[in-house]
C-alpha cells in the first residue's frame, strides 16, 4: 500500500473508518468517501499527522452522476488512483419481508448494490491504466446464507458477491485484481447509522453476539488486498457458518433462524 492511492467508501464510520486509518499507517494516500461531512472530519482528526495523506469527499454513492465525477476529483488531489474499497453499506430494519416497505427495500439495494456498481464502473477505466490495481468489495455473511429479518439486505450482499466474482473473472488478464470479503458480526454502529433499531430497544451492537473488533476486521481486509486474496471471511462466525452452510444448508438456515427469531 505504500505510496498507493486507495479510495474507501463509508470512510466516515465503523469499519470503513478503520480501513482508512489502517491504510494510512501503511503509507497509502487515501480518499475517504462518505455521506456525512462531520463523520469524515472525525476520521481526519483521528488520522492525526497522517491526515496530510488523506482527502475527504462528501458523496452520496447512490447518485451516479456524483460518483462518475469522483475519479477526476481524486486524481486531481492525489495524482493517480490505484485501488478502491467499497465498504459503504446499510442494513434493513429487523422485520419480515411482509412488513418491509418498498422505500426501505430500494434504499438498501441502492446503497449496497448500486453504490458498489457505480463506484466500480466509474473507477475501472482508470484502474486499467495502472501497472497494478485492485478492487475490493465487501459483501457479508448474510450474502451467502439466509438471515431472517435481513432478507433484502442479504439479497443486496448476494448481488455484490456474484457481481464481484464475475468481475474478477472478466479481469483475469488485466492488471486489476479483485477481492470479495464476507464479514461476520463486526463491532460497529451500523444499525444506528442505518436507522435499524431492534425491538425492545435492543440494537445490533448490544445484542449478545460475539463480534470482531472493527480495527481487527480492517487489518484482515487490508491484508487481503495486499495479498491479492480471492475470497476472505472475517470473523470466527463467518468462517463457522460458511463451513456449516456448505455442509448442511437447511440445518444452517434453521440454526440461524433460532438465533435471530427473538430480534424479529
Convert the pLDDT of each residue in 17-53 to its tens digit.
999 999 999 999 999 999 999 999 999 999 999 999 9
pLDDT value of residue 193:
53
Residue that has been written with the C-alpha cell 455473511 in this structure: 141
From the CB of residue 129, how many other CB atoms can be counted at a distance below 10 Å?
A: 11
- Those residues with Cβ within 8 angstroms of residue 66's Cβ, 6 or more apart along the chain or in another chain: 59, 60
Q: Which residues are bridge partners to 34 per DSSP? A: 58
pLDDT less than 50: residues of the chain: 194, 203-206
pLDDT value of residue 210:
78
pLDDT value of residue 206:
45
Check the CA dihedral 170-114-192-66 and report its sign. Answer: positive
Interatomic CA distance for residues 14 and 18, integer angstroms: 7
Interatomic CA distance for residues 42 and 21, integer angstroms: 11
Q: Let me know: does 251 contact 244? Beta carbons within 8 Å.
A: yes
From the CB of residue 72, how many other CB atoms can be counted at a distance below 10 Å?
A: 12
Give the distance between the most distant pair of CA atoms in the chain: 53
Residue that has been written with the C-alpha cell 435499524 in this structure: 196
Question: Chain-centre distance of CA 230, in angstroms?
Answer: 15
Q: Please state at what angle helix 115-127 crosses helix 64-78, rounded to 10 degrees.
A: 40
Which helix or strand (DSSP H or E) is residue 138 part of?
Answer: strand 133-138
pLDDT value of residue 215:
95
Catalytic residues: 153
pLDDT value of residue 205:
45
Interatomic CA distance for residues 93 and 204, integer angstroms: 10
Which of 26, 28, 29, 54 is closest to 40 using CA atoms? 54
Question: Domains along the chain?
Answer: 5-263 (3.40.50.720)
Amino acid at each position: 500500500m505504500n505510496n498507493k492511492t486507495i479510495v474507501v467508501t463509508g470512510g466516515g464510520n465503523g469499519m470503513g473508518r478503520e480501513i482508512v486509518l489502517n491504510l494510512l499507517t501503511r503509507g497509502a494516500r487515501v480518499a475517504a468517501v462518505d455521506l456525512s461531512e462531520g463523520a469524515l472530519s472525525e476520521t481526519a482528526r483521528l488520522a492525526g499527522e497522517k491526515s496530510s495523506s488523506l482527502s475527504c469527499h462528501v458523496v452520496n454513492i447512490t447518485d451516479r452522476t456524483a460518483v462518475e465525477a469522483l475519479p477526476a476529483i481524486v486524481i486531481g488531489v492525489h495524482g493517480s488512483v490505484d485501488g478502491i474499497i467499497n465498504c459503504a453499506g446499510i442494513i434493513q430494519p429487523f422485520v419480515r419481508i411482509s412488513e418491509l416497505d418498498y422505500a426501505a427495500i430500494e434504499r438498501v439495494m441502492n446503497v449496497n448494490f448500486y453504490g458498489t456498481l457505480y463506484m466500480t464502473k466509474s473507477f475501472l477505466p482508470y484502474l486499467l491504466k495502472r501497472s497494478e490495481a485492485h478492487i475490493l468489495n465487501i459483501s457479508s455473511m448474510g450474502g451467502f446464507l439466509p438471515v431472517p429479518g435481513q432478507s433484502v439486505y442479504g439479497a443486496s450482499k448476494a448481488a455484490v458477491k456474484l457481481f464481484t466474482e464475475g468481475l474478477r473473472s472478466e479481469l483475469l488478464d488485466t492488471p486489476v485484481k479483485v477481492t470479495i470479503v464476507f464479514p461476520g458480526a463486526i463491532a460497529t454502529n451500523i444499525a444506528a447509522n442505518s436507522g435499524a433499531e431492534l425491538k425492545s430497544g435492543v440494537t445490533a451492537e448490544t445484542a449478545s453476539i460475539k463480534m470482531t473488533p472493527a480495527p481487527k476486521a480492517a487489518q484482515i481486509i487490508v491484508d487481503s488486498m495486499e495479498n491479492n486474496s480471492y475470497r476472505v471471511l472475517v470473523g470466527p462466525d463467518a468462517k463457522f457458518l460458511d463451513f456449516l452452510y456448505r455442509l448442511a444448508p437447511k440445518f444452517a438456515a434453521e440454526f440461524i433462524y433460532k438465533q435471530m427469531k427473538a430480534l424479529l
